[in-house]
Amino acid sequence: MLNELVSRPLREEHIEYAAALPYEACRLLRPYLVERLSPFVPRTVILFLVPYYAGRAENLSCYASARDYHGYMKGLFARVIPRMQAESGCSFFGFADHSPIDERLAAAQAGLGMRGENGLLIHPRYGSFVFIGELLTDMPPEAVGAISPQEVLPCLSCGACARACPTGFLRGEGAECLSAITQKKGELTEQEVALVRAGGSVWGCDCCQLVCPHNVSAMREEQYTPIPYFREERITHLTKACLAAMTAEEFAARAFSFRGRTPLLRNLDLLDT
């Protein structure tokens, strides 16, 4: 069981699902991110889930209707890490998304969810509408309450996500994921234009999540994220007027901002929004 000095600060942030693995049990993807922290030597990885679903968005992927989760994680780490360090005398470093380890695999091995055929981690309560975060620490695995890697559980394998995938990406048809297409800079090919128009999304694609049977209860209002950051200031329909009204700071705080305004304006033109 996870040590209270780690689980309590997370619980107080409404983060209820967390588990730890020995660092050496995790699959390394970007070792240079750890090398940069030298002389720090990680011994344990604490994985946790941040649920974000708070309703559908009309022309944005649900994750992008709230403010950027990277901003949330930065704030979270600034709040919880000093407390954990003060109580343990050990060092902690936070990561999310751009992580040294394969965080989806590690979260599944830590028992935090199944591996979906859509490539996403699926939690029994929050479905695939979760961000994965992790804390690397030099605290020994046994002191943190780490477990040995568990067998990765599969999803229902119903095939609904592959059938619903608008580009055929999940059917191995060679096309790219629509989410990646909406985020491309520059001009799109005729085929990409047709896919963006058919998908109806300015940024991202949720087709494989919305049809997943594991997500049915996660989309009920009583299961919405308890984290205020993801419930407040949501944009459910992005328009040119909405974009134009945003200050540079407001725009930078959005998940859809990282490629600049140009791809968004291009997609809005394609969708005639």
Active site residues per annotation: 97
Return the exposure string of 12-49: e unless at least 16 CB atoms fall within 10 Å of the residue's CB, then b: ebebebbbbbbbebbeeeeeebbeeeeeeebbbbbbbb
Question: Residue 131 belongs to what H/E stretch?
Answer: strand 130-137
Give me the least distance between CB of 219 and ligand SF4, in Å please: 13
Phi, then psi, of 175 in degrees rounded to 5? -80, 160
Residues interacting with ligand SF4, by CB under 6 A? Answer: 116-118, 155-161, 164-167, 169-170, 177-179, 205, 207-208, 211-214
The smaller minimum CB distance to ligand SF4, of residues 54 and 195, is found at: 195
The dihedral through the CA atoms of 186, 187, 191, 192 has a sign that is positive
Q: For residue 107, what are its two tokens?
A: 């979260």
The smaller minimum CB distance to ligand SF4, of residues 152 and 253, is found at: 152
Give me the least distance between CB of 170 and ligand SF4, in Å please: 5
Phi, then psi, of 25 in degrees rounded to 5? -85, -10
The smaller minimum CB distance to ligand SF4, of residues 38 and 157, is found at: 157
The smaller minimum CB distance to ligand SF4, of residues 19 and 165, is found at: 165
Phi, then psi, of 205 in degrees rounded to 5? -155, 135
Contact 196, 158 (CB under 8 A): no
Give me the least distance between CB of 162 and ligand SF4, in Å please: 7
Give me the least distance between CB of 236 and ligand SF4, in Å please: 18
